[in-house]
């Protein structure tokens, strides 16, 4: 059974304080690992897809990396508008995503 | 661009009542999905569709039914609502199935009392 565990469950940062979110996974034959951002009362919004170990992708203050067992979402010099829940999901060969429970990020000014 | 539109945004049901959650997308996507999201849990797939007339079960289909008569619409039917169906429901769509990002609606918050 595919499993995704995200840590920490919640993270509080000061504006400008860089940190990382972790997504550990077990899956038989990873086709892709996805990161989504979810604001309160809204649906998840796509951020990145990573396909193979060693791959990295960046978008503004966010950088996602992937190994064979986990993915990290690095947040550099975060701003209050980066506050959201960040979701990780893995896609096995059948295409059905398994989501983690999310990390709630709060950035204080 | 509207994207994926869900209605209603909020609903309270009594135990045993039925209702339909509506979902429509205007991106001409082949694939559509229904997920539920419970506090502290990951999104769980209820049903999905690969095109008009074709639907299949996801991880948690019991108590739900779907239909896909058009490319645009993918309603989710709850029959005999139970407290365990209290959740936030998200509809999503994608152009393809593998390695394709999902576009989500804004969700329906459902309480069954």
Confidence (pLDDT) at B82: 97
Listed residue (A46, A45, A50) closest to A23, CA to CA: A50
Listed residue (B55, B100, B86) closest to B73, CA to CA: B55
What domain range is B37 assigned to?
Answer: 4-112
User: Each residue of B7-37: pLDDT tens digit?
Assistant: 999 999 999 999 999 999 999 999 999 999 9
> Does residue B1 carry a pLDDT above 80?
no
When the pLDDT of each residue in chain A is averaged and rounded to a whole number, the result is 96
Task: Provide the 10 A C-beta neighbour count for residue B12.
Answer: 11
In CATH, what number is assigned to the domain containing residue A39?
Answer: 2.60.40.10
Domain count, chain B: 1
> Does residue A94 carry a pLDDT above 90?
no
User: Each residue of B96-112: pLDDT tens digit?
Assistant: 877 789 999 999 999 99
Distances (CA, A) of B44 to A92, A107, B38, B59, B88: 15, 28, 9, 7, 11
What domain range is A90 assigned to?
Answer: 3-108
Tell me if chain A has a CB within 8 Å of the CB of B105: yes
Tokens of A96: 């059905």
Tokens of A19: 């940190």
Confidence (pLDDT) at A33: 96
Domain count, chain A: 1
| Cα A57 versus chain centre, distance | 12
In CATH, what number is assigned to the domain containing residue B25?
Answer: 2.60.40.10
Residues in chain A with CB shorter than 8 Å from the CB of B104 are 43-45
User: Each residue of B22-78: pLDDT tens digit?
Assistant: 999 999 999 999 999 998 888 999 999 999 999 999 999 999 999 999 999 999 999
Confidence (pLDDT) at B26: 96
pLDDT band at B4 (very low <50, low <70, confident <90, very high): very high
> Does residue A48 carry a pLDDT above 90?
yes
Residues in chain B with CB shorter than 8 Å from the CB of A95 are 97-98
Tell me if chain A has a CB within 8 Å of the CB of B70: no
> Does residue A99 carry a pLDDT above 90?
yes
Q: Report the chain B residue with the minimal C-alpha distance to residue A88.
A: B42
> Does residue B2 carry a pLDDT above 90?
no
Q: Report the chain B residue with the minimal C-alpha distance to residue A99.
A: B42
Mutation to test the B interface, candidates A6, A7, A43, most B Cβ within 10 Å: A43
Whole-number percent of chain A with pLDDT over 70: 100
């Amino acid at each position: 059974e595919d499993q995704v565990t995200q840590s920490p469950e919640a993270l509080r940062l000061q504006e400008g304080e860089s940190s990382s979110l972790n997504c550990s996974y077990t899956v038989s034959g990873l086709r892709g690992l996805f990161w989504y951002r979810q604001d309160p009362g809204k649906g998840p919004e796509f951020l990145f897809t990573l396909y193979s170990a060693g791959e990295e992708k960046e978008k503004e203050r966010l950088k996602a990396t992937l190994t064979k067992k986990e993915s990290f979402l690095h947040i550099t010099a975060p701003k209050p508008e980066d506050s959201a829940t960040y979701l990780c999901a893995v896609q096995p060969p059948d295409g059905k995503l398994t989501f983690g429970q999310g990390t709630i990020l709060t950035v204080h000014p | 661009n509207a994207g994926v539109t869900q209605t209603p945004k909020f609903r309270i049901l009594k135990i045993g009542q039925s209702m339909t959650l509506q979902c429509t997308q205007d991106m001409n996507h082949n694939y559509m999905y229904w997920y539920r999201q419970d506090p502290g849990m990951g999104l769980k797939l209820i049903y999905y569709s690969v095109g008009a007339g074709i639907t299949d079960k996801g991880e948690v289909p019991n108590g739900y039914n779907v239909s896909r008569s058009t490319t645009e619409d993918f309603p989710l039917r709850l029959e005999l609502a139970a407290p365990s169906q209290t959740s936030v429901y998200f509809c999503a769509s994608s152009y393809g199935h593998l390695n394709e990002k999902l576009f989500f609606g804004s969700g329906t918050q459902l309480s069954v009392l």
